[in-house]
Amino acid sequence: SNYCIFMLISAPDNFTITPAEIVVRYGDPASANCSTSVSDAAGMGWEATFGGVGLTTAPTVHWAVKKLEVWDLQPLCFITLKNNDQCDKTLNITVYKTPDKVSILDNGPMVEGKEYHLKCDISDVVPADKVKVKWYRNDEYVQDMVSDTHVDPHNNNISAILTIIPKKDDNGANFTCVAELHLGENGPQPVPAATSEPYIAVVHCEFPVLFFQPAKHSPDVSHSDISCQPEGIPEPDTVWFKDGKQMMESPQIWRRQDSGEYSIVATNKYGKDSHTLYLDVLCEFLCNKMNTNQ
């Protein structure tokens, strides 16, 4: 026993597993070779739950399984020396499995300017502690938002929460959650990943926004060219006032007597906004050209 330990420490190349580490997807084939240049080896083999190989003549023994369906498999290559001493090495295996499902939970509409939490559930992924969760907004990686990830090692589930303070421009934006398996230098490239269906954000405005393009003067008996477009989510209700009195509807034809102070109030469940303008309706005189032949 001491002789074998001495040999391994002083000359580790005398006992080699190739590759020293393998990363394999659950259900795929796996294999490795074990070799030695020890001169007094009586034989060598593999101890494994699956694919084990009994004592075989040195210097090489092959281990293989056609379909790896064990999570904690640790194949062990052993050498038996002529004096019956043994030494061994374990093949490092990482078995991985991409998530069954990645989904973003819908917690209802967002409100502009108020903190909101998007939750991404990642189910049945192995190894869960090798998962990196990435968030994207309209296919752009989100770097300026806070993300918190919780790993449940018992059932291989992950919950990731993205904290955002939505803006008006986020309405209609697509948020996606990506679970990437980072399995080290020997892992597959590109890294295995699973992506959620897009979550389409609905952002309610805290206050309605009013857009106006008022005409300073409007000729008598003409159609209105005052553009007033209240904007909000949910769509706001609007009320017109003239000289402080509520109107049934805004005028479509303007006359001189319509001159005055107008205001519009837009309201939804998150608040209200208003805008006031003064409108002058001017007379437009039509002069007939005199007939000088009369």
What does the domain layout of the chain look like in residue ranges?
A: 2-96, 101-204, 209-282
Q: Which of 237, 240, 208 is nearest to 226 (CA)?
A: 240
Taking domain 2-96, whether its CATH number is 2.60.40.10 is answered by yes
- Give, in degrees to the nearest 5, the angle at Cα 133 between 180 and 194: 40
Q: Which CATH number fits domain 101-204: 2.60.40.60, 3.40.50.2000, 2.60.40.10, 3.30.1330.60?
A: 2.60.40.10
Comparison of pLDDT for 34 and 11, the residue scoring more: 34
How do residues 243-264 score in pLDDT, each as one tens digit? Answer: 878 777 665 566 667 777 877 8
Contact 180, 162 (CB under 8 A): no
Q: Which of 58, 50, 60, 53 is nearest to 30 (CA)?
A: 50
Helix, strand, or coil (residue 101): strand
Q: What is the pLDDT of residue 252?
A: 58
Contact 256, 245 (CB under 8 A): no
Q: Which CATH number fits domain 209-282: 2.60.40.10, 2.60.120.1440, 3.40.50.620, 3.20.20.210?
A: 2.60.40.10
How far apart CA 44 and CA 35 sit, in angstroms, is 9
Q: What is the pLDDT of residue 250?
A: 61
CB burial class (10 A; 0-12, 13-18, 19+) of residue 85? Answer: middle
DSSP state of 197: P
Greatest Cα-to-Cα distance within the chain, rounded to the nearest angstrom: 142
Domain pair 2-96 / 101-204, same fold = yes
Comparison of pLDDT for 44 and 274, the residue scoring more: 44
How far apart CA 74 and CA 71 sit, in angstroms, is 9
Q: Is the pLDDT of residue 4 over 50?
A: no
